[in-house]
Amino acid sequence: MKKHFILIGYGDVGRSIATALEKAHVYFVVIDTNESKLKDKGFEYHIGNGTDEEILRKAGLTSASTVIIALNNDDDIIFTTLIARNVNPHSIILARANSTKSIDKIYRAGADYVASLSIVAGQMLAHIALGHEEDSILMLQGLEIGKYQITPGSPLAGKSIADEGIRSKIGCTVIGIEENGKNTTDIDPSIILTEGMTLAIIGNSDQISKFKKEYER
């Protein structure tokens, strides 16, 4: 199976995520316990509990590039995060937090980014109240997405993501690459970065600032 997304949980939040992934033409697999919600949706799915390692493996966890956990129970989210991180240490894990008290626990379980629904909702309401309905909300529990173009003389030119150790060195993760008008989210850490490429990076505000300070010339 090619590198793909796994979406765990198909409730209200999961459905919204699935719709966004479909619009982005991303290949993804859904895991949920209720088959009636998934029939005839046009995407691959597996019926079972997201805390079941066997089900996660059937969905291709070992080769998934990104795992999105949108379950309703934070204890299940923590347990699923632990399994996902153990089985596939290289995947990007995005998790929902139903309670702000669970955020730190989910991070400690191995999630890369945690979105608290209450915090996200608060940010959206604040944007609307301030008349910023059209603005993209890029911050979810401190999360930001930035773009960086590799220009002549860039320290990244001629190096691979793995060799440079961007994730371990800076804390950011490269989630997309644009080159010659083509975009890819199937990121191979061994790919050689060249002048003209544009990287989409994700991290908190401090990590984004550190990345730009380290690599922008």
Domains of the chain in start order, with CATH, are 5-122 (3.40.50.720), 143-215 (3.30.70.1450)
pLDDT per 10-residue tile (average), the chain, 217 residues: 82 86 86 92 93 96 92 95 95 88 92 76 56 45 72 89 85 81 76 89 80 83
Query: CB of 14 within 8 A of CB of 44?
Result: no
The DSSP call for residue 28 is: E
Give 202's strand partners: 145, 173
Q: What is the pTM of this model?
A: 0.63
Residue 6 pLDDT: 95
The DSSP call for residue 100 is: G
Residue 136 pLDDT: 40
H or E stretch covering 208:
helix 205-215
Nearest to 57 by CA among 66, 46, 68: 46
What is the rounded distance in angstroms from the CA atom of residue 57 to the CA atom of residue 31?
11
DSSP code per residue over 123-184: HHHHHHHTT-TTS----SSSEEEEEEE--TT-TTTT-BHHHHTHHHHTS-EEEEEEETTEEE
Residue 62 pLDDT: 93
Query: In Å, how far from its chain's centre is CA 2?
Result: 17
